[in-house]
Copies of this chain bind each other. A is one copy, B any other.
Amino acid sequence: MPHAPRLARRAQDMPASPIRRLAPFAAEARAAGKTVYGLNIGQPDIPTPDAVLERLRAFDGRNVAYGPSEGLPEFLDALHAYYADVGLPLERGEIFVTTGGSEAILFVLGMIADPGDEVLVFEPFYTNYNGFSTLLGVRTVPVTTRAEDGYHLPSRAEIEARITERTRGILVCSPNNPTGTVYRDDELELLTAICRERGLYLVADEVYREFTYDGRKHRSILSFPDLEDLAIVVDSLSKRLSVCGIRVGSIVSRNRELMRAVLHCGQARLCPPTLGQWAATAMRDVPASYMEEVIREYELRRDVVYDALTSIEGVTLRKPEGAFYVCARLPVDDADRFAEFLLRDFDQDGRTVMIAPANGFYATPGLGTDEARLAYVLNRDDLGRAMEAFAAALHAYDGVRR
């Protein structure tokens, strides 16, 4: 047997999913008859709009053919109508359809940064930014936000301290995964000012655009003046239509040179999924009431989780403002150990909870050890039971910090 050559260095560096380690424990718990409430990932239980499922089932092609690399024309029409509806009228060529928000991140990071170049991200951040930057050889440079500030942005000085000659852009996610924070207009203005002055791209992950609570509105970076060539939005239909599995997203920018480079990336992979685009073209026919009801439901779920967490002594959090996540500091030595405890050593009347330890959302070693993310993606009854079990588990956990 010949000796296999080593894999690429970046293969060793590719981060494993931070919650994957826990999956076997969840499977064991379920096999043992426990009810495991999955608050660990952002897979909503919300039904896809009827119009979308009906269009899917009405697929009338003789075969499932390639579409254009930039997206099916009728789906692009639907996207243009959507963005105009949310106050973002766009020209042809300013929207590029991607295979989920994931591919949008890959292409954008790849087209603005070379191996060794840097992009600032606010930690805790969506873990997969790390996966794509590792694949591309791009360095994600963390700027830390804090639980006690509700994970809002730190000062201008703290942000600018991380900018170097290799910095090519700032990547911001609002409403935020994993923290649920919605950045205020003044925070976004700060970022746009820094990017304008330093000549940096501002990349905004706005996939949770509509998911804002307590009357808040999210402002797209596309709406800021004098930012045409710097603003790049990565977007996805996954959460908006509860169609995570269709793998359809988009890159939106008025920077034509960038969009041309993105098209070349897209030509290499031929086209985004035809079936997902076919079905999602029916987004035109989804009544506004669908999204209103979804948001109202998430706001109520948020309240269930927030009220439960604030009534537990030693838990630090601010009220989440958007998306469907909450990050909190827990009175435990190690949230990773506590998450394992929940699955392996605990149940309340046969019930327990799966959470995402937050250390995987930080790039700075040692941060997030006592924090966790909970996704409120279950119905309120289940969420209520889950939070009861969660509170009881915190009391029972013998690694509780004294």
Residue positions of A touching B, CB distance < 8 A? 1-5, 7-12, 14-17, 20, 41, 43-48, 53, 56-59, 61-67, 69, 99-100, 102-103, 106, 110-115, 117, 128, 130-132, 135-137, 168-169, 195-197, 199-201, 226-230, 242-247, 255, 257-258, 261, 264-265, 267-276, 279
Q: Is the CB of A43 within 8 A of B14?
A: no
Q: Is the CB of B128 within 8 A of A269?
A: yes
- A286–B255 alpha-carbon span in the complex (Å): 46
* Residue from the list B61, B132, B245 in contact with A268, Cβ < 8 A: B132
In the complex this chain forms, how many copies of it are found?
Answer: 2
Q: Is the CB of A245 within 8 A of B229?
A: no
Q: Is the CB of B112 within 8 A of A261?
A: no
* A46 to B: closest C-beta gap in Å: 7
| Closest 9 A/B residue pairs (Cβ) | A131-B268, A245-B274, A4-B229, A14-B264, A11-B261, A102-B269, A17-B267, A64-B245, A48-B63
Q: Is the CB of B8 within 8 A of A270?
A: no
* A59 to B: closest C-beta gap in Å: 6
Knowing A114-B8, A131-B268 are in contact, say whether A273-B255 is a contact too (CB < 8 A). no
Please, which residues of chain B bring their CB within 8 A of the CB of A43? Answer: 65-66
With most chain B CB atoms within 10 A of its CB, the pick from A99, A128, A255, A270 is A270
Q: Is the CB of A100 within 8 A of B136?
A: no
Knowing A63-B243, A265-B14, A275-B273 are in contact, say whether A255-B48 is a contact too (CB < 8 A). no
Q: Is the CB of A230 within 8 A of B270?
A: no
* A137 to B: closest C-beta gap in Å: 5
- A168–B56 alpha-carbon span in the complex (Å): 43
Knowing A11-B111, A57-B59, A273-B245 are in contact, say whether A265-B131 is a contact too (CB < 8 A). yes
Q: Is the CB of A271 within 8 A of B257?
A: no
- A9–B99 alpha-carbon span in the complex (Å): 24
Q: Is the CB of A137 within 8 A of B111?
A: no
Please, which residues of chain B bring their CB within 8 A of the CB of A137? Answer: 114-115, 136-137
Knowing A64-B48, A244-B65, A273-B246 are in contact, say whether A255-B4 is a contact too (CB < 8 A). yes
Output the nearest chain B residue to A8 by Cβ-Cβ distance.
B114
Knowing A66-B41, A110-B135 are in contact, say whether A229-B168 is a contact too (CB < 8 A). no
With A5-B201, A8-B168 given, can you name 5 additional A-B contacts, CB distance below 8 Å?
A41-B66, A64-B243, A99-B247, A131-B265, A246-B273
Can you spell out 23 A-B residue pairs with CB atoms less than 8 angstroms apart?
A: A1-B228, A2-B196, A2-B199, A2-B230, A4-B199, A12-B261, A17-B69, A43-B65, A47-B62, A53-B59, A53-B61, A63-B243, A67-B245, A102-B269, A102-B270, A106-B269, A131-B268, A247-B274, A273-B273, A273-B275, A275-B275, A275-B276, A275-B279
* A215 to B: closest C-beta gap in Å: 27
* Residue from the list B16, B57, B99, B267 in contact with A20, Cβ < 8 A: B267
Please, which residues of chain B bring their CB within 8 A of the CB of A14? Answer: 111, 261, 264-265, 268
